Amino acid sequence: CLYIDLHGHSRKLGLFTYACGQFAENDYRRFTVRMYPKLLSLLTPEFELSNCRWRIGKGKRGTGRVVVAKDLGLTETYTIE
């Protein structure tokens, strides 16, 4: 299952994602949460994998991707900007 929240960003150009991907290096979820953005970067020239962020920033607890990740336990939750 995959959750995607689409937004526009006023300060950054191009396409990138925010994800809830703070997992230990040996945790399989660290790999799975990064798979979708990696595929997007291979298929879409405008997508910038280097601009993707994997942490939950301060004040982001109420965003759709964080609510779905925390409350429903879904790993693959993204905001695409």
Q: Which of 29, 49, 30 is nearest to 39 (CA)?
A: 49
Helix (H, G, I), strand (E, B) or coil at 9: coil
Residues annotated as catalytic (active site), given as ranges:
81
Gap between the terminal Cα atoms of the chain: 20
